[in-house]
Amino acid sequence: MLKIAETKDLTAIVEAAVIKHGAHADAFVPILLEINHEFGYIPGDAIRMARKFLHELYGKNPEEHILVSEGQLYGLASFYHMLHTEKTGRHVVQFCESAPCHVQGGRELWKSMQQSLGLAAGETSPDDRFTLKTVSCLGVCGVGPVVLVDDDLYGNVTPEQLADIFAKYE
Amino acid sequence: MAFYRSHVLVSVDPECLAKGAHEVIDALNDELIAQGLLDEVQVLETSRIGDPYRLGPDMLVYPEKEHYANLSADDIPYLVEEHFLKGRVVEKFRAQEKAVSDEELGAPKPKEVRIVLRNCGKIDPHNIEDYIAEDGYQSLAKVISSMTPEQVIAEVSKSGLRGRGGAGFPAARKWQLCRQVPDNPKYLTCNADEGDPGAFMNRRVLESDPHSVVEGMIIAAYAIGASRGYIYCRAEYPIAVQNLKIAIAQAHEFGFLGDDIFGTGFSFDLEVRMGAGAFVCGEETALIASIEGKRGEPRPRPPFPAVKGVWGKPTNNNNVETYAVVPQIILKGAEWYASMGTEKSKGTKTFAIAGDVINTGLIEVPFGITLREVIFDVGGGIKDGKQFKAIQTGGPMGGCLTAEQLDLPLDYEALTAAGSMMGSGGLIIMDHETCMVDMARFFMEFTQDESCGKCTPCRVGTRRILEILEKICAGEGQPGDLETLEDLCYEVTRNSLCGLGQGAPNPVISMLKHFRAEYEAHIYEKKCPARVCKALIRYEIQAAACTGCTVCARNCPVEAINGERRQAHIIDVDKCIRCGICAQVCNFNAIQVLS
């Protein structure tokens, strides 16, 4: 996942996402997910462009109910946890905060994570290396506590392992 | 096409060939001719079956699915005579299965009955033929070719199947309601937004046996008269989404989905919709809003989705497990299914056991089994020889039950009567070192965070409950706090719009009911009996046990430990941040936690 928005052609990516998922109301969330995946977050410009492309498609096929305001799209982006409206670091570290992880040493781990990264939940490091977040249950409770770095899942994590895990991400 | 009663697949990957796979095949063909079985048994070449270095040459015999390994041409006459002529499994050639490394789902544990999970880990989820070989899509064929929609509903009704999402509404009645609404088109949704922390039964079924869900949905669509379906899967389950998409594409290829299924004029199409991380979307009206591309916020019912659902049309919504079990009911009959369970809760239920128990992971047990059996027989008991304290059933909106309730039978009514609920099937087991105030705070933190904010009782109420619990954990609880908590819980339960808010106070209510003394200790004595809440505990070095090795002092992050080498050390309580590192590093168990 490349996170540096400037190096990517925002217009082309948004247009491709809109065309791929099509001009249906039920495609809004998939379109935003795709943009989020490309940039790590949803830039304000992307929302503007998504609206524009959707309306162009509407012009070709007015049968579909896809007239949508920027506010509505932003409303989606701010509602769902996996869509980010703020720029994130190069790597997103997510800690599973659910009960099974909590009772299996998650509480201590979460404290160590905040300490070793020097970040609180939702914060990004000044060098843009890490963003620390909590995530709801990832469903791998058999190996809790669980940490997700970008798309890599780590199970049975102890505070001692954190340094080695973080060292893999530059 | 010739019909063979048996198919033999011999692995011909390079390693097996090097170890004589072709000689085995030649010997097999010769022997089948000699025994006159060539018209009954077909020999096929296939790619790798098992580990060729350890097992090759090896073969798979269908339909028995017997795996024979380390064969040579000389073994074949005996094998053919025993297996194909006499119908006996030849033990000495059977492949030794590797020890199960599946942490979630090992071999069935005592008292387990696997129906929903029967194929998990056994079949290749990417291969529809594997599913078909396990009687897959037979029920669909039976339903479409020989049953009317009414007969299907009647059969499901007779089986006693209830919605596995948590509420336990009879599935057949829901289908009937949707069927009789005079509006078209009708939609089908599958709730795969399994968000309860600690519950991952649905994930496993979707990843390992997606076709059972697809088949169940097609049958339900036929019964209801729906033409289009959505599987709403949470984005936290990327593999489940991928496997579902593959399964749907394969079902299309085989003509099980799409227009004019089996040439009967019945058409149904299915697609996967991915969530984007919102717990409330597991609520059916929020799920529907999310499918429609809106914020996943619930709305008041009625109208129920059966009348006005996706795009304002009649919609039937069931859980993954509900759909997955339907093909088995059709195949084996309603009586078979209804023979398991209790009077009102029939069949089996999957649970995810997590927390302080030896065997964590997935289980499937018949209804009516007791909590004691689940924890101690299936779950293997409490970890590290500790004592059982409580079990949270029904997820973050469920309730906790104590040792006195361990002999409760697991069924919908019994759990509700005990102040908890079945929920989707997460079981969190807590040992005696768990603080019940801290647990309640923890669950409220979750529901407070996941509250969508649409209705005030839930948005503000959950926050206020959390604040009081945080205060109590911090040692700042005051007389009257518990009464305020109870009032708040009552109002939030009564006035919230959807199941999230209505259920959110449940953990607090039940923990307060069963462990009130623990709450009072926090408030009046400023003690945490389980010695968890940081503000209420202190660490102390037992002078008699301390050898003065200095390990604790060297590891203390705030230099709160003082003492001479070989002399008993002392912790400065004012400096101590109660991180517990000293207790972890002490080799002599000299550091005690007191409250």
CATH code, A155: 3.40.30.10
- Average pLDDT of the residues in B303-323: 96
Task: Identify all chain B residues contacting A25, using CB atoms and an 8 Å cutoff.
Answer: 292-294
B559 close to A (CB below 8 A): no
Tell whether B103 is covered by a domain. Answer: no
Of the candidates B504, B525, B546, which is a domain's last residue? B525
B558 close to A (CB below 8 A): no
Of the candidates A38, A59, A79, which is a domain's last residue? A79
pLDDT in tens, B36-46: 888 889 888 87
Q: Which CATH number do you get for residue B572?
A: 3.30.70.20
pLDDT in tens, B124-173: 888 999 899 999 999 999 999 999 999 999 999 999 999 998 889 999 99
CB contact under 8 A, B354 and A141: yes
B543 close to A (CB below 8 A): no
Most confident region among B86-90, B192-196, B474-478 by mean pLDDT? B474-478
Tokens read off for B500: 């999230």
The span from the CA of A166 to the CA of A109, in Å, is 14
At which residue do the structure tokens 């069963």 appear? B514
Q: What is the DSSP track for B77-144?
A: HHHIIIIIIS----GGGB--PPPP--SSS-SPPTT---STTTTTTTS-TT-HHHHHHTTTTHHHHHHH
Reply yes or no on whether the pLDDT at B574 is more than 60: yes
Tell whether A138 is covered by a domain. Answer: yes
Q: What pLDDT shows up at residue B98?
A: 46
ipTM above 0.95, yes or no: no
- For residue B257, what pLDDT band results from cuts at 50, 70 and 90? very high
CB contact under 8 A, A32 and B276: yes
Strands, E assignment, B313-451: 315-319, 348-355, 361-366, 388-393, 399-402, 426-431
Reply yes or no on whether the pLDDT at B101 is more than 80: no
Tell whether A84 is covered by a domain. Answer: no
- Average pLDDT of the residues in B406-413: 92
Vertex B146 angle, CA B144 and B147, to 5°: 75
Q: What pLDDT shows up at residue B16?
A: 79
Tell whether B99 is covered by a domain. Answer: no
Reply yes or no on whether the pLDDT at B395 is more than 50: yes
**Structure pTM?**
0.80
Query: Is the same domain home to A53 and A101?
Result: no
Query: Is the same domain home to B221 and B283?
Result: yes
CB contact under 8 A, A80 and B274: no
Q: How many domains does one find in chain B? A: 5
Reply yes or no on whether the pLDDT at B96 is more than 90: no
Domain that residue B515 falls in:
436-525
Tell whether A121 is covered by a domain. Answer: yes
Give me chain B's average pLDDT, please: 91
Query: Is the same domain home to A62 and A32?
Result: yes
The answer to whether residues B314 and B387 touch, using CB atoms and an 8 Å cutoff, is: no
Query: Is the same domain home to A123 and A152?
Result: yes
Query: Is the same domain home to B321 and B184?
Result: yes
Query: Is the same domain home to B378 and B474?
Result: no
Domain that residue A22 falls in:
5-79
Tell whether A46 is covered by a domain. Answer: yes
Q: What pLDDT shows up at residue B458?
A: 96
Q: What pLDDT shows up at residue A5?
A: 46
Query: Is the same domain home to B51 and B144?
Result: no
B312 close to A (CB below 8 A): no
Query: Is the same domain home to B275 and B422?
Result: no
Tell whether A36 is covered by a domain. Answer: yes
Q: What pLDDT shows up at residue A99?
A: 74
Of the candidates A79, A114, A137, which is a domain's last residue? A79
Query: Is the same domain home to B175 and B234?
Result: yes
The answer to whether residues B262 and B144 touch, using CB atoms and an 8 Å cutoff, is: yes
Share of chain B above pLDDT 90, in %: 69
Query: Is the same domain home to A105 and A52?
Result: no
Q: How many domains does one find in chain A? A: 2
Q: What pLDDT shows up at residue A65?
A: 62
Tell whether B114 is covered by a domain. Answer: no
- For residue B99, what pLDDT band results from cuts at 50, 70 and 90? very low
Nearest by CB to B293, from A29, A82, A97: name it: A29
Tell whether A86 is covered by a domain. Answer: no
Query: Is the same domain home to B205 and B158?
Result: yes
Query: Is the same domain home to B218 and B133?
Result: yes
